[in-house]
Copies of this chain bind each other. A is one copy, B any other.
Amino acid sequence: MRFELLDQDPRTRARRGRLHLAHGVVETPVFMPVGTQATVKAMTSNQLQDLNVEILLCNSYHLLLRPGHEVIGRQGGLHKFMAWDRPILTDSGGYQVFSLASLRKITDDGVTFQSHLDGSTYFLGPESAIDIQRALGSDIMMCLDDCLAYPATHFESDKSMKRSMAWAERCKTQHLQNKELSDGLPQTLFGIVQGGIYHDLRKESAERLISTDFPGYAIGGLAVGEPKPLMYEVIEQVETHLPADKPRYLMGVGTPSDLVEAVALGVDMMDCVMPTRHARNGWLFTRTGHIVIRHAKYKEDPEPIDPACGCPVCRTYSRAYLRHLFIAGEILSSVLNTIHNVFFYLDTIRRIRQFIVSHRYDELLAEVRQEL
């Protein structure tokens, strides 16, 4: 993997870059829609391409349970399996193990857990997390980390961070061993900064990862319930410890305004289920706020979701129709709402990039803050 730094806004830390990955080039800042179970819920791979989605995130945990990473490996990998020939980032499975699975038992070796689907027992350690992602064949793999809930004490956060850093080293070792065996496309492995809300722990985590040396660094353990200002503060602190020539990925964030704020703090990559999950619940993003499409006031509204939006849904369908589909429980409701919301996120990223290269990112920040 190669990361080019193309431009830098003069008055914020926002930056434009370019990731060269096994399945193609990704411009940054970038938003990665989430394709949990090898599908971005309700969208075909063609529809994703038509919206110019550059890179997807898929969840190792879900694919490990169903259909199984070996199955996907034998089908030629995740790209072929889901008919997506652009880059894919996979997470390690750690976050879902800690949030979805039951009867977890954590040791320094890894996590033993029961599937949330059928209760069967699995083990996930740093080595197997890498092997799973190798079978999936993602462009970017993530290290297994120990994910704490918020709030957590300094003591808990310290212990958890140190375990994550030890796992990160083992992930890298396993990845290097696999590379020697593999004749496949080159995969790249990112480290994840942990340490909760504690600056000293975040600093130590970043330094340990940098000494292990990864081609990219993620900020994990945020957007887990902490107040927004605290989240931004942690990002701002962590960023000062990360090398400028490596991409920075803020995991699981966030709202459209979070995207703008995080980029201002030097973040290059983000992912979130918000556009897709909210779409299925009828929550639609617009430049002037969101609309809840089930509301009675849209029953006879002939306007598109957002008159300023150029997405295929806004160019074609009225709020009245979209409300009808939602109320009637039609599958097409999820399809069209998802297309709109994903387009909205990508459009936000397009604006972010434009404001960076015109060196006016502070104007975009001011605009977004005023809207709130």
Contact = CB atoms under 8 A, between A and B. Distances in A.
Interface of A: 37-39, 41-46, 66-67, 71, 74-76, 81-83, 299-300, 302, 312, 316-318, 320-321, 323-325, 327-328, 330-332, 334-336
Most buried by B among A43, A45, A67: A67
A324 B332 CA distance: 21
Contacts of A302: 75-76
A38 B324 contact: yes
A45 B81 contact: no
Identical subunits present: 2
Given A74-B300, A330-B37, A321 B83 contact: yes
Nearest to A330: B39
Contacts of A323: 67
A293 to B, nearest CB: 13
Contacts of A300: 71, 74-75
Contacts of A336: 44
Secondary structure at the A interface, as helix, strand, loop or mixed, is: loop
Given A76-B302, A81-B320, 4 more contacts: A44-B332, A44-B335, A75-B300, A83-B317
A45 B336 CA distance: 11
Nearest to A318: B75
Contacts of A71: 299-300, 320, 324
14 contacts: A37-B324, A37-B330, A38-B321, A39-B332, A42-B332, A43-B332, A44-B336, A67-B320, A71-B320, A75-B300, A75-B302, A75-B321, A82-B321, A83-B317
